[in-house]
Structure 1
């Protein structure tokens, strides 16, 4: 009994590895070139697999593109979800301005690490930025499962941190601006490295965001 079980496990692991390779190659290709400019053959070659293998896991190019979006959402939940869930729960009770500011800092610190330093961050950021600039098949997935809940949570914390000095629409605009500053920094990291030198820029980014939050909550 043990021999066949090991074989089944090995086949499953190989299948998952192949699927992850295809997803990684697709995220990189779609992010850098866009949906229309990429072929499934190019992705299969980059993933060191064949077209039937790609079709087996994802069906067609649009299925693969949508799978990339779902993978980004899953990665976000793994990297930021626990902090976001606790911060959201904290909002269910009266929350002092200082406490809201603390949760906002924790949320943006987790988001900064996810967008700027985790493995695959650049490819995910490029994919997301393309969908933001030119909505395609994955836009609704990213909007409903990533952007809208993230913006609404950050905006609610901002509104609480500002102790009534910001309206709900103003808070949402500020939340979008703060989140966009992180995605923009991801695109400009090479320029930052050349102009500011090597270093832990994520720490600097988090410190700058903390200062913004402190300035807002201390007015």
Structure 2
């Protein structure tokens, strides 16, 4: 959508609000309840509608990609007028980018502390046992977050869609993921005595991440094979144990018991 179309859309939407305000004034004078048109218009420019549009768009973009997603479908799922997308986001492309930023924000809130703790430790000298523990902390938080929260399945689907069909929002996801990967790569490099800037360190870091990422992207297959509808706390504990053992073998450093 070009800037002219966006500005026209906003003008039309604001005009609808003004008409609704006029209706409210008349109805208030006549002691009548506010019209349905006014209530809907007021509702659609609120923060709650914006959040509903984000969540609806997260689902639709993840299922159908940017090109296949219809803004009319997103608005319908959010229970909002189509013009509400223009009012809150300006365009389909801006909505798509806002969804990417929302996904990054949610993941940062849940995973960021483990990444930040490792990054702070890496400003000093980190030995192999400490590197192994910091790496496992990051992995454990990822498993809890990506396998333990219902909305995380939508984040994973959106991220996978961007991997398969990169769009203008891809860089938002990429920049965040690489900031995390840089820290894990440095930890892996310490454990394998590699230059953290080397391609081998990068590839081995991705390979280690794959030990738990497969349970995110392959969740439907895992659930069907296990005969489950969802992964329980016990399942996640077992996944953590198995992943930890696999990484012990890959890096040659057994995870020490902090207790």
Q: Same fold (TM over 0.5)?
A: yes
Aligned twin of 1:137: 168
Identify which of 158, 167, 188 aligns with 2:188. Answer: 158
Aligned twin of 2:237: 203
Q: How much has 1:188 moved relative to structure 2?
A: 2.1
- 2:108 matches 1:74: no
- 2:59 matches 1:32: no
- The structure whose RCO (Cα within 8 Å, separation 6+) is larger is 1
Q: How many pairs does the alignment contain?
A: 206
CA distance in 2 between counterparts of 1:112 and 1:186 reads 8
Query: Against the structure 1 CA distance between its residues 30 and 181, is the aligned structure 2 distance closer, same or farther, given a 3 Å change threshold?
Result: farther
Q: Please, what TM-score do these two structures have when normalized by structure 1?
A: 0.86
- How much is the aligned-residue C-alpha RMSD, in angstroms? 2.1
Aligned twin of 1:170: 200
Tell me, yes or no, if the aligned pair for 1:58 and 1:64 is still in contact at 8 Å.
yes
Q: How much has 1:165 moved relative to structure 2?
A: 5.3
Q: Deviations over 1:146-183 (max 9, x none)?
A: 12111111110111223x15763222112222334434
CA distance in 1 between counterparts of 2:50 and 2:207 reads 35
Counterpart mapping for 1:1-219 below 5 A = 15-144=46-175, 146-162=176-192, 164=193, 168-198=198-228, 199=232, 200-215=234-249, 216-218=251-253
Q: Please, what TM-score do these two structures have when normalized by structure 2?
A: 0.73
